[in-house]
Amino acid sequence: MVATITAFAFEVAPAIAILPLASFVIALFAGKYLPKRGALAGIAATGGSLLLSLWVALTVAGGATYNEEIYSLVTTPNTFDLHFGLLLDPLSALMLVIVSLVSFLVHLFSLGYMNDEGEAGLPRYYAGLGLFSFSMLAFVFADNLFMSFVFFELVGLCSWLLIGHWYREDAPPSAAKKAFLVTRFGDYFFLVGVVAIFATFGTTVFAGPESFPTLAEEALAGSGGAGGGAGGLSTFGFGPGAWFTILGFLVLGGVIGKSAQFPLHTWLPDAMEGPTPVSALIHAATMVAAGVYLVARMYGFYALSPTTLAVIAFVGGFTALFAASMAVVKRDIKQVLAYSTISQYGYMMLGLGAGGYVAAVFHLMTHAFFKALLFLGAGAVIIAMHHRQDMWEMGGLKERLPIPYYAFLSGSLALAGIFPFAGFWSKDEILFEALVHGIGGSPLLLGGYLMGLTAVVFTGFYTFRMVLLTFHGEPRTHTARNPHDLGWSVKTPLAVLGILAATAGFVNMVPVGTILGLERIELLHGWLDHGISGLTVEHYGELTHDFAGYTTGALAGSEVLTVLLSAGISLALALAGAGLAWMLYSGPNPEAHTERLGDVRTLLMNNYYQDEYQVWIAETFGTGVARLSDRFDQSIVDGAVNGVSEVSLLSGDRIRRIQTGIVSNYATLLTLGLVVLLLTVGLAGGWFL
Amino acid sequence: MAVAVQYYLLLSAAMFCIGLLGILTRRNALFLLMSVELMLNAANINLVAFSLQYGNLTGQVFSLFVTALAAAEVALGIGILLVLYRNFGDVDITKATTLRW
């Protein structure tokens, strides 16, 4: 009986993704005639997905897993097949719940943000949301890298559709194009990586004895590190270790583009041009999360390559600091949140690179909750402010919007990493992992740790600057004195996420667990440690230890002391940042202090001229290459085509003159032809010898 | 005493060449038809000669087929010739040159 229920839960699992697809179709074709223009279909579909995801998660919690092919696209004997399949293990079950929950709440919130505000193009909007949810959910339960790539691209397409929703204005279409192009740039590397993985392993499935991480591990174990044979795998003249590192980097290109890591982060702040619920969806659960999720999904492969891990950790740490510093000077509430997103995903990458798989997944989860909350909170503020986003025009909204205020405060405390909110536990765990592996023999990670630690101060500062400017003090404009009313559809998601942002951290309280010696309190660790063998935390720990040489060190030889110090330092720094913001921006009429930064402010306001230099690169090299290609196309390709036609025309013009119309001439030609043919055949055949 | 086969071949080759020459040089379409007839009959002589040589009747049967073919060809040829005359007022093939470039 139990077995049948388990099997049935997995049988219906594809519906988790199919339901939003159905809502996409309904909104697209029938949205015009529906009372809420497709919103209800979307809410019902994502609600259904959420229920199914929870059911699947419960089933997975019971110890069952699922790894099956469901639809085969191309099957070729002796080489490889392309198929869609389902991989339901603790990681994907967790992510399914997160994505469908956030997606459901965003649909609900959209009722207030889009419908009640009388926006145009609602069927298109809800169709986009449905397709977006579908793509991300299918990406999450993909069982192979090929399927991941397909839905990775679909997610990119949906972000393009939704960021450019208000296509009649100037900025949104341009931002949408930028998001699409920048992420596509990374995806080129991903595509090459997928093909290379196919060529190397003949398969791209994630789990099982025939999966590519397992094959890679066997190849490395068999050959004893770098060099030597690779267990029947073709590594194109490289040692297997070096080749796997190259493959890891290729796939990482897609990750860096989608997860907005330096230097491909520039699209994300511009993506704020889209409707705010879309920003919440992109930043919390779908687009940006896809990159980090992909690394977590194939962590068994990345764990084999110390170089890739070090680069992931370093890029992550640097991005965390880099983006946080830009968030400090922004005036637009959504811009601050955008840079904080980049920064937080930097932390996740740091966690993954530092061997903290659980920590990174944990932060992915808590961040999904508190960042969705912050964006929806910002959306609520924007509704109340009649679509004004400059924080200097707000102020004093605390009394007028109590529910958004407390929810937003909960999200901000989580973002800044203040005890005991969700972000504290997860961010602290990431920094802790980087620290212990750093002092345990991988000093490179200490660099990432220090950057992450510095970013904590910035995070605390910009978060509370945002809260203080938006909600505290005296109202600075007439709009802020008389904010727009908010409906239940706006307040409900905020309340749900507000509670989650405050409490989600309790699922993995590592410091408490270590100090009290209660391993069982680390629920998420235990959750990720069961399921399909080869995809467990324990296995990943062995891999990073054996192949990347990560060993756990401790300050002064005491684990408890290290945990306490790590948590204490990051909390103290977060409080210091928050305190600085309080000093500068509290009071009824805060002043702008960014002017005092002088040239640094100019640099930060211009985002370190990242856009400028990338545009410069694109223009210099892009147009150069384009001009060369144009010349090649015009002269050589077109030349060849035109030449062929010229020759045909000319020779046709000459040769047609033998068509005299006189039968005798034709007969002569026939006869002569026969004679020539006979002579040739005769000479070649030696008849005349 | 039977005639040796090479004389038949010589006769046939000579007839074939006369026919060919007729086709290549004559301007009157009627002569062209006659020349074709000559060439077909040259082939017939070959068939009959080898039939006699090998004592095999297949060649003679084939020559009957060729005769039938020649009759059909002449019927078609005369038809074309009539149309040619109606359109151009002449049976000179060098005059009928409208199917040209």
ipTM of the complex: 0.88
**From the candidates A659, A663, A669, A675, which should be mutated to test the interface with B, based on the most B CB atoms within 10 A?**
A663
Residue A510: CB partners within 8 Å, gap ≥ 6?
A425, A428, A429, A432, A522, A525, A563
At residue A639, the pLDDT reads 92
Query: B76 is written with which tokens?
Result: 């078609």
Tell me if residue A509 falls in helix, strand or coil.
Answer: coil
B100 touches chain A (CB under 8 A): yes
Which B residues 19-58 touch A at CB under 8 Å?
20, 23-27, 32
- Cβ pair B101:A657 closer than 8 A: yes
Question: Taking a C-beta distance cutoff of 8 angstroms, is the pair A452, A350 a contact?
Answer: yes
Q: pLDDT digit string (tens) for A51-98?
A: 999 988 888 888 788 888 888 877 776 667 788 888 888 888 889 999
Confidence at B19, pLDDT banded by 50, 70, 90: very high
- This prediction has a pTM of 0.78
CA-based nearest residue to A86, from A48, A133, A140: A140
Question: Taking a C-beta distance cutoff of 8 angstroms, is the pair A271, A279 a contact?
Answer: yes
Residue of B nearest to A662 (CA): B94
Tell me if residue A587 falls in helix, strand or coil.
Answer: coil
Which A residues 643-682 touch B at CB under 8 Å?
656-657, 659-664, 667-668, 671
- Cβ pair B23:A667 closer than 8 A: yes
Residue with the bigger pLDDT between A419 and B80: it is B80
Residue with the bigger pLDDT between A176 and A1: it is A176
What gap in Å lies between CA A372 and CA A282, rounded to an integer?
9
Residue of B nearest to A666 (CA): B24
CB nearest to A668's CB, from B24, B94, B99: B24
At residue B9, the pLDDT reads 93
Question: What percentage of chain A has pLDDT greater than the value 90?
Answer: 10
Question: Taking a C-beta distance cutoff of 8 angstroms, is the pair A524, A413 a contact?
Answer: no
- Cβ pair B101:A671 closer than 8 A: no
- Cβ pair A667:B24 closer than 8 A: yes
A470: enclosing H helix or E strand? helix A443-471
Query: A600 is written with which tokens?
Result: 């640094």
CA-based nearest residue to A279, from A363, A378, A181: A378
What gap in Å lies between CA A640 and CA A78, rounded to an integer?
39
Q: pLDDT digit string (tens) for A482-522?
A: 777 777 888 888 888 888 888 888 888 777 777 777 766 77
- Cβ pair A661:B23 closer than 8 A: no
Average pLDDT rounded to a whole number, residues A208-232 = 67
Q: pLDDT digit string (tens) for A7-58?
A: 787 888 888 888 989 989 888 888 777 777 778 888 888 899 999 999 888 8
- Cβ pair A656:B27 closer than 8 A: no
Residue of B nearest to A672 (CA): B24
CB nearest to B101's CB, from A656, A662, A664: A656
At residue A59, the pLDDT reads 86
Q: pLDDT digit string (tens) for A114-143?
A: 777 777 788 888 888 899 999 999 999 888
Task: Sketch out chain B's domains with CATH numbers.
Answer: 5-88 (1.10.287.3510)
Average pLDDT rounded to a whole number, residues A451-461 = 89
Among the residue ranges A110-119, A562-571, A588-597, A660-669, the one predicted with the least confidence is: A588-597
Chain B residues with CB-CB distance to A663 below 8 A = 32, 93
Query: A220 is written with which tokens?
Result: 């490395």
B6 touches chain A (CB under 8 A): no
CA-based nearest distance B53→chain A, Å: 24
Question: Taking a C-beta distance cutoff of 8 angstroms, is the pair A291, A320 a contact?
Answer: no
Q: pLDDT digit string (tens) for A620-637?
A: 888 889 899 999 999 999
Residue A346: CB partners within 8 Å, gap ≥ 6?
A261, A262, A315, A316, A317, A318, A319, A320, A321, A322, A323, A452, A455
Residue of A nearest to B21 (CA): A668
What gap in Å lies between CA B39 and CA B70, rounded to an integer?
10
Question: Taking a C-beta distance cutoff of 8 angstroms, is the pair A291, A231 a contact?
Answer: no
At residue A616, the pLDDT reads 84
CB nearest to B93's CB, from A659, A662, A671: A662
What gap in Å lies between CA A345 and CA A518, rounded to an integer?
29
Neighbours of A285 (CB within 10 A): 31
- Cβ pair B27:A664 closer than 8 A: yes
Residue of A nearest to B95 (CA): A662
Average pLDDT rounded to a whole number, residues B18-22 = 93
Query: What is the rounded average pLDDT for all residues in chain A?
Result: 84
Tell me if residue A50 falls in helix, strand or coil.
Answer: helix
What gap in Å lies between CA A203 and CA A473, rounded to an integer?
60
Question: Taking a C-beta distance cutoff of 8 angstroms, is the pair A550, A434 a contact?
Answer: no
CB nearest to A661's CB, from B20, B32, B100: B100
At residue A649, the pLDDT reads 94
